[in-house]
Structure 1
Amino acid sequence: MTIGNGRAAEETLHDVIGIGFGPGGIALAAALEEEAPELDCLFLEGRSEAAWQPGMLLRGSDTQHHPSRDLATLRNPRSRYTFLNYLHETGRLLAFLNVPTHFPLRRDYARYVRWAAAELSSFVAYDRRATAVSVADGPVPHYVVETACGRTYRGRALVLGTGRTPYVPKNFEPHLGDRVCHSSEYGPHLEKRRAAKGGPLDVVVIGASQSAAEIALDLHSAGSGDRVLAVMRGFGYRLKDTSPFSEEAYFPEFTDYYFNASREAKKRLDDQLRPSNYSSVDQDVLESLYVRRYEDSIDGEERFLLYRNHEVAGLESGDGPVRLTLRERNIGEPAQVTADLVVLATGYRDLGPAEHNEPCPQILTPVVDGLALDDTGVLRVERDYFVPPRAGVGVRPPLFLNGLCENTHGLGDAGSFSLLSLRARTLLEGIRHRLGADHGATENVTHR
């Protein structure tokens, strides 16, 4: 079979169709190759190649997780898809072991993700952006996935691993474009604005997260003379909670504990553990930013301006600089700033009922009527990441979520590598269980 080409691709009924081939999908493909070669799985990826955080590959930024919390090690330390084996096979193991950093550089991990994706290329069809999902009955119940290129793909089970949707506050939505972007697109937008202006930029960075601080440091370190205007609702950047006791929230035992807790208990746990992952910054980044701000003051410069306790009250954009009206949250004083670029380090949407959440991934909207929802109207997800059918709907092909379940499974599902490989095994076990022993019995299933 030639994956993703011609009429054969549209007629083939795969055991599993995966939407998205980011780290979650790559980790699942590695598990499938090593533990379930009898299953035929095809991933559809909208990009032309595998990429991990392409807009945030900033020089000097690290991954904030142990190097062995990778695509495979926790599931199978002997796997050839471990980060350590990647270093070995690319001749960089000794050099890496001599680098005086606690965590791997983000650029190193991005290359590792691309390497693993290339090794697992038989599982993926690129340039296949999924646009619609539906359910068909014959010859067995299965999902039909339509893609932007016009091709259609079919699978007896569907694994959705598209990553979380960037969260853009409503007042910024009408202004998204060349001059206003989410942090996930920071790199390309910065290059375009620098090329267009041909000189130093004034860049407003909204937020106080790790990403916000890294972007501020990257701008200040670039040597291009850019000026950073950091706007945040709190008093300042907060230190990340890196206590090893808090880090046990990234153990599989905590996932079980969190999953079985009540909604009220989950909220208490979220409030306690939030500083270990959200609205907080690693100590090395904090200290570097503060030293740079102090050094500027020695030289009488103002290249890093801190608008603490401020929120954006108004925004005007057009062909010229973006104009922002700020309001100090405690004493109400207004301020006016202009920017060549506004970067929204405002995080991502989780599944949930709140305004900044979404009840289900948008691509599942056509089939959501047949899926079970909880009492808040959000997709109901089981421990193996299976989304059950709504009561009374009848037989539906199995659907799984890969990396979208922080609200039900806790911080280990928060876009982190920490439990990625173990989640792949859980998904694989769920797929086997839900498909049943006859997964290869359908006569028109084409196997790799």
Structure 2
Amino acid sequence: MTAIVHDMIGIGFGPANIALAVALEELQPRVRPLFLEARDRVVWQPEMLLAGSDTQNNPVRDLVTPRNPRSKYSFLNFLFEQGRMLEYLNLGLEFPLRKEYSQYISWVAAHFADRVEYGATVNAVDIATLPDGTEGYRVGLVSGESRLARVVVLAPGRTPYLPAPFDAVDSERVVHLTRYASTVARHAEEFAAGGRIAVIGGSQSAVELTLDLARRFPRAEIVTLARGFGFRMKDVSPFMEESIMPEFVDYYFHASQQSKDLLDADLRYTNYSAADADVLRALYLLIYEQRLDGAQKVFVRNNSEISAVAATANGVELTVRDRHRGDLARERFDLVLLATGFRNFGPRPDQEPYPPLLENLAPQLHRTDQGALAVGYDYRVAGAHGRSLPPLFVYNLCESSHGISDAGSFSLLSLRAETISRTIADLLDPAVTVAPVLFGGGTSPVPAPAADRVSGGLPR
């Protein structure tokens, strides 16, 4: 029996590959994709669906609208089909609730159930000779099974960053925010009676976790430890927000590494180590009111860095150093939550050279001078030493090459999906010429003369 060879395998079925599934259906219906998703269903950020939290994302910058405003897969059409559009518009929200946007993403994903294998955890990607003698990929699953494809698109989400000294700690009481909801649910009875919880970080997520913990566990003491002098407000002026425009991606991609570093520094507080004004005011007011009542339970300790961690089955001891005075203090907590972000591609300790799933291919992947994975303008990965790889794409992970809009952001997701879908179709079926395109612009495939076309779908 001949093994099935898929036109394309997408690894992960979160927002990035869901947007790609939509783009393929609308633009390149001849391409037959298969998506592999480790979870048993699609739920966007399930561990951070906090009461009242929003997306910090313009709802019109959804999975499809910037590419195709007439698509049935838009957020507005989701609201309409759920019978909530007028009520939603009546809210006057700048940003949608995170739980509602998660429902939207699940709703779109459900339209593609016949193209997804759920509960399929990928553990390896290798180059393989396909039954027709051409090169493609074998995608290995933890079940021991494998799938074959001519093209692989990797969009598994970013790797959580655990800074030192937490990276050397293996404890259920030291947890990254990607495990937040399930962890606090497991300890709900314990913290309902009291206890101490530390939140590490100075980001939007750190503030959101602090507020959520205070709401869930009013008897517990919540201590947020941040390196900076104070929580910084995000820079969301429309001038700085031009960093999430297609033109900036072009500008950034073609800049020197020195210029990229300068641009990263300029734009850092549009996304990192900063929080929105609404949650900062809510946290400050909460602390003020608790002091007014003489019953403070929430504390923010600025200028603090963690120099040592000692975890036991029942708690965690942190050695906290004042960054400016050098004073050391040891504090015991029942739980430590790390709002410490995610890894981008690069050589620093807080970065990684390539996605861990590409470990088997690492010697065959081209790297930048800094040692990071080299990703092309169209998100295609190049082979090392001039070797041509079968088509391999990595996206929604490419901040180091394409700028801050590629940091897991929705802003240009639909346009990136368009770029990749057109490139894949052109690679699989050269009988249809696709004009080069970075981000949309209305370019359509130009059919080759009828006599030159391959009938019956994609050539094998």
1:269 aligns with 2:287: no
Q: Does 1:126 align with 2:118?
A: yes
Q: CA RMSD in A?
A: 2.0
| TM-aligned CA deviation for residue 335 of structure 1 | 1.6
SS at match of 1:391: helix
State the distance in 2 between where 1:399 and 1:174 align. 33
Moved more, 187-196 or 218-227: 218-227
Instruction: Indicate conservation of the 8 Å contact 1:369/1:390, yes or no.
Output: yes
For 1:336, give the aligned amino acid.
R
Using the TM superposition, name which of 220-229 and 237-246 deviates more.
220-229
Match of 2:324 in 1: 330
Say yes or no: does 1:368 pair with 2:362: yes
Compute the TM-score of the two structures, normalised by the length of structure 2: 0.92
> Where does residue 415 of structure 1 map in the other structure?
408
| CA deviations over 1:200-238 (Å, ceiling 9, x no partner) | 231100000000010011111225422210101101110
User: 1:21-57 CA distances to partner (integer Å, 9 max, x unpaired)?
Assistant: 0000100000011111100110100000012111111
* Structure 1 residue 107 corresponds to structure 2 residue 99: yes
Shift of 1:119: 1.2
**CA distance in 2 between partners of 1:411 and 1:224 (Å):** 37
SS in 2 for 1:397: coil
Would the aligned equivalents of 1:12 and 1:445 in 2 still touch at CA under 8 Å? no
Is 1:27 the equivalent of 2:22? no
Distance 1:302 1:442 in 2: 73
- 1:420-439 paired onto structure 2 within 5 Å: 420-437=413-430
Which residue number corresponds to residue 4 of structure 1? none
Match of 2:348 among 323, 344, 354: 354
Q: Is this contact kept in 2: 1:193–1:341, CA < 8 A? A: no
Q: Distance in 2 between matches of 1:15 and 1:233?
A: 48
Higher RCO by CA contacts (8 Å cutoff, separation 6 or greater): 1
Name the aligned partner's letter for residue 78 of structure 1. Answer: R
Asked if residue 402 in structure 1 is aligned to residue 395 in structure 2, the reply is yes
Separation in 2, partners of 1:96, 1:200: 37
Partner SS state of residue 143, structure 1? strand
Tell me if structure 1 keeps the 8 A contact 2:171–2:311.
Answer: no
Residue 448 of structure 2 corresponds to which residue in structure 1?
A: none
Contact (CA 8 Å) 1:209, 1:281: kept in 2 or not? yes
Maintained 8 Å contact 2:428/2:459 = no
Selected match of 1:226 from 210, 220, 229: 220
Secondary structure of 2:384's aligned partner: coil
Query: Any idea what SS the aligned residue of 2:199 has?
Result: strand
Where 1:380 maps in the other structure, the secondary structure is coil
Per-residue Cα deviation, 1:34-83 (whole angstroms, up to 9, x for no partner)? 11110011010000001211111111110111110000000100111110
How far residue 305 of structure 1 moved from its aligned partner, in angstroms, is 1.3
Question: How far has the Cα of 1:443 moved from its partner?
Answer: 9.7
SS of the residue 1:313 aligns to: strand
Deviation at 1:199, TM superposition (A): 1.9
Conserved? CA contact 1:206–1:343, under 8 Å: yes
1:377-428 CA-partner distances (Å, limit 9, x unpaired): 22111110001112343x4211001211000000110111111111100111
Distance 1:176 1:95, change over 3 A: farther
Match of 1:147 in 2: 141
Where 2:332 maps in the other structure, the secondary structure is strand
Task: Spell out structure 1 runs of 4+ moving beyond 4 A.
Answer: 438-447
Deviations 1:167-212 (A, max 9, x none): 0013112324321110111111111122356522311000000000
Does the Cα contact within 8 Å between 2:24 and 2:421 map onto a contact in 1? Answer: yes
**AA partner of residue 381 (structure 2):** V
Per-residue Cα deviation, 1:242-286 (whole angstroms, up to 9, x for no partner) = 101001101111111110111011111111111111100100000
Structure 2, unaligned stretches of length 5 or more?
433-452
In 2, Cα distance between equivalents of 1:332 and 1:282: 30
| SS, match of residue 187 in structure 2 | helix
Question: Structure 2 matches for 1:9-24, cutoff 5 A?
Answer: 11-24=3-16
What residue number does 2:229 align with?
A: 235
Return the alpha-carbon distance in structure 1 between the equivalents of residues 413 and 386 of structure 2. Answer: 34
Deviations 1:149-168 (A, max 9, x none): 22211110110000110000
In structure 2, how many angstroms separate the alpha carbons of the residues matched to 1:409 and 1:308?
Answer: 33
Would you say the 8 A contact 1:178–1:193 is kept in 2? no
Name the TM-score, length of structure 1 as normaliser: 0.94
Query: Which amino acid in structure 2 is aligned with residue 129 of structure 1?
Result: T
The CA deviation at 1:430 is 2.1
Contact 1:328 1:334 in 2 (8 A): yes
1:355, CA displacement in angstroms?
1.2
Work out the CA distance in 1 between the residues paired with 2:149 and 2:393: 12
Moved more, 395-404 or 53-62: 395-404
Q: Is the 8 A contact 1:40 1:446 kept in 2?
A: no
The answer (yes or no) to whether the contact 1:67–1:104 under 8 Å persists in 2 is yes
Indicate if the aligned counterparts of 2:175 and 2:336 stay in contact, CA closer than 8 A.
Answer: yes
Q: 1:442 to 1:389 in 2, by over 3 A?
A: farther
1:25–1:402 Cα contact (<8 Å) kept: no
Does 1:75 pair with 2:70? no
Residue 8 (structure 2) pairs with residue 48 (structure 1): no
Give 3-state SS (helix, strand or coil) of 1:122's partner.
Answer: helix
Question: Structure 1 residues 358, 287: CA separation in 2 closer, same or farther (over 3 Å shift)?
Answer: same
Distance 1:172 1:251 in 2: 36
1:194–1:201 contact (8 Å) kept in structure 2? no
SS of 1:98 mapped into structure 2: helix
CA contact (8 A) 2:366 2:381 kept: yes
Residue in 2 that maps onto 1:87:
79
Structure 1 runs not aligned, ≥5 long: 1-6
Q: Which deviates more from structure 2 when the two are superposed, residues 24-33 or residues 183-192?
A: 183-192
Q: Report the Cα distance in structure 2 between the residues aligned to 1:297 and 1:185, rounded to whole angstroms.
A: 31
Whether the aligned pair in 2 keeps the contact of 1:219 and 1:227 (CA below 8 Å) is no
